[in-house]
Structure 1
Amino acid sequence: MTARSLQGTDVFIGLGRSWSGYKHFIRDLSVDALKGLSSRGRGGGGGGGGAQKLVASRMRVRAIHVWGGGRLQRLALASTDHAGQFLQAADWLLQSQTASGAWTVPVERRLNDHMLLKPHWSSAMAQGQAMSLLTRAYRVTGDRRYLDAARRAAGPFSVDSRDGGVRTLFQDKYVWYEEYPTVPSSLVLNGFIYSLMGLYDLWRTEGEGGEAGRLYAAGLTSLRALLPLFDTGSGTLYDLRHVTGGGPPNLARWDYHVTHVNQLLVLATMEREHTLFAELADRWTAYMRGHRAAHN
């Protein structure tokens, strides 16, 4: 767990709880610096606007200072270490997965007055993205622990939201995997699509006959049926909370709208026999250029 704190002109980024023995740490110093400067702009004194003007590729390490107790075995600087960070993330997922196959969120989340998630809830989006990473780690290393963890991650997709899982049904017919498994359901679009991508990656990795293929197929059927409900004629909706819980529609910000478009373009490459994804991607792209649906 990483936390940031400010003391004078210094920004401190934690590396977790105490430990014994050697630990291998990989840090992206440019990201740490940008996050630290951003924190200063949010109330730590100092100008926050300057952090936004910095470009990571132009930053340079001027000096490295080590103080305090302990022993440093090896220190190395590199322009990138994506492979190392990738495997560290995969190992963290192995260590942090619960017995039910989930990675839980330890904080409360409130979508509105009627949709509250208490600490230690699961997210279909997080499950799907973890599956995508773990299946790739398995393909790179051949270590079956990663594949086994990805398979366990499919467990919450078969458990209803009210029972601690991420599954809900829309109108008692269409299965939906919830980014925020609230009761009543919220049906967030981008999180659902990310969860489908994770199930797809697991299905294509483990082959036919696994649970992931069935879950993916059921979700794809729901997505094709419900996608038109997210089209406003001038943009998209972030979710369907206005249908399930009442209140006004929750319009997607333009950055989320762009995410929807990009997700549909990816789905169009995954499911070439279904033209709906490409057609909607074209229409939703046109909305960003000022196109609007016809009206009476």
Structure 2
Amino acid sequence: GSDGARERFFLYADYFAERQTPTGDFNYLFDWFESTAPWHSALAQSRGASMMLRAFLLSGDDRYVRAALLALDRFDVDCSAGGYQAIFEPEGVIYFEEYPKEKNAVINGFMASLFALYEIGHWLGDRRCRDLFDAGIRSLERMLPYYTLPWWTLYDRGADAGRNVHSPRYQKMVINYLKVLSVLSKSPTLRHFRDHWGRLDTPQNRAKAYFFKARRKLLYR
């Protein structure tokens, strides 16, 4: 209800809408490991589409609808062809990749990418986005066991799969993602992992995760 907040929101929404590429990307303009600027990410596309949707719901301006749909247009295209979809090899299921060049199957990025698919499917009645969301949930159900350690959870399934654990801050974040996604999807499997991962989040395990994460950063950065 704040005019000042509304004005700031549209300032940022228009900033990103004007910088969206003709193919729909909200590009990152910095280098990050193997990803060199400009590069795109399923996570950024989802965040951007969610923002464009809210701009439309607040203004009724159809140009934000076009931007939202364009942002998600290549979610059914493989990363190798410039899209956002990859295959999680252990299960042979599709997921949406945060780092298309690296294909590390970062689990928090995949979870985050699902939110806009649900929102566009729900608020705009877009069947394709709803189907992609449902497919993503089915994949997530089969992927989560691979990210679950006896004491904690994993950030990704890259080259050193099994050693890159979540920081305590990210552990809390992915548990919260699962809380929301389990409600949106009504998935018993997601509810199970939501509760199980929550039980792993103890002071002792957080301290252990801090140690492993700090050691990794010293070794690799």
Task: Letter of the 1:83 partner, please give it.
Answer: R
Answer 1 or 2: which has greater helix percent. Answer: 2
Of 107, 128, 140, 1:223 maps to 140
Deviation at 1:214, TM superposition (A): 2.2
| Cα RMSD, aligned residues only | 2.0
Gaps of 5+ in 1: 1-78, 111-115
Deviation at 1:159, TM superposition (A): 2.5
Of 243, 246, 251, 2:165 maps to 251
Of 13, 16, 23, 1:100 maps to 23
Task: Letter of the 1:251 partner, please give it.
Answer: V
Deviation at 1:246, TM superposition (A): 4.3
Displaced runs of 4 or more, over 4 A: none
Q: With CA pairs under 8 Å and 6+ residues apart, which has the higher RCO, 1 or 2?
A: 2
Cross-structure match for 1:25: none
Give the distance between the partners of 1:140 and 1:256, measured in 2 at CA: 31
Q: TM-score scaled by structure 1?
A: 0.64
Cross-structure match for 1:87: 10
* Aligned partner of residue 252 in structure 1, secondary structure: coil
Q: TM-score scaled by structure 2?
A: 0.85
**CA distance change for structure 1 residues 108 and 163 in 2, over 3 Å: closer, same or farther?**
farther
Give the distance between the partners of 2:7 and 2:94, measured in 1 at CA: 37
Q: Does 1:269 align with 2:180?
A: no
8 Å CA contact 1:121, 1:164 repeated in 2: no
Q: How does 1:130-141 map to 2 (within 5 A)?
A: 130-141=48-59
Larger radius of gyration: 1
Give the distance between the partners of 1:101 and 1:164, measured in 2 at CA: 11
**CA distance change for structure 1 residues 263 and 248 in 2, over 3 Å: closer, same or farther?**
closer
8 Å CA contact 1:160, 1:168 repeated in 2: yes
Answer 1 or 2: which has greater strand percent. Answer: 1
Give the distance between the partners of 1:104 and 1:160, measured in 2 at CA: 17
Cross-structure match for 2:214: none
Cross-structure match for 2:93: 174
Deviation at 1:208, TM superposition (A): 4.5
Q: Does 1:123 align with 2:36?
A: no
* Aligned partner of residue 74 in structure 2, secondary structure: helix
Gaps of 5+ in 2: 206-221
* Aligned partner of residue 168 in structure 1, secondary structure: strand
Deviation at 1:182, TM superposition (A): 2.5
Give the distance between the partners of 1:145 and 1:164, measured in 2 at CA: 24
Task: Letter of the 1:284 partner, please give it.
Answer: W
* Aligned partner of residue 103 in structure 1, secondary structure: coil
Task: Letter of the 1:255 partner, please give it.
Answer: R
